[in-house]
Amino acid sequence: MKKNVDDDADEMRSEYDLSKLKFVGRGIYAKRYRSGTNIVKLDRDVREAFPDDESVNEALRVIAKAAKKQASRAKKATRRTATSRTRRAA
């Protein structure tokens, strides 16, 4: 026994006013999604050197710490140079 299939079941009803619907473009949430993620594509040689995310994070922390230390040393050296110049001028 076959059920009666309504041919209009997949059609949109006539009472919908399409002019009132707000059509939005594709990817409307892409910017919001990217702002909450930090996805970085690594080259093949880098992927071989760092097999997982923990090793990448550890290496980046070491580099960030060294860069911070270097920046503080440069700042101190600049202050010393500026101080010695003002003493010579006086």
List the pLDDT tens digit at each of the 90 positions of the chain: 566 656 556 677 777 777 777 776 777 787 877 777 777 888 999 999 998 989 999 999 999 999 999 998 888 887 776 666 655 655
Q: What are phi and psi of 69, to 5 degrees?
A: -65, -40
CB 55 within 8 A of CB 63: no
Amino acid at 31: K
CB 59 within 8 A of CB 50: yes
Q: What's the whole-model pTM score?
A: 0.45
The CB-based long-range contact list for 69-74 (8 Å cut-off, 24+ gap) reads none
Q: Retrieve residue 32's tokens.
A: 């919001």
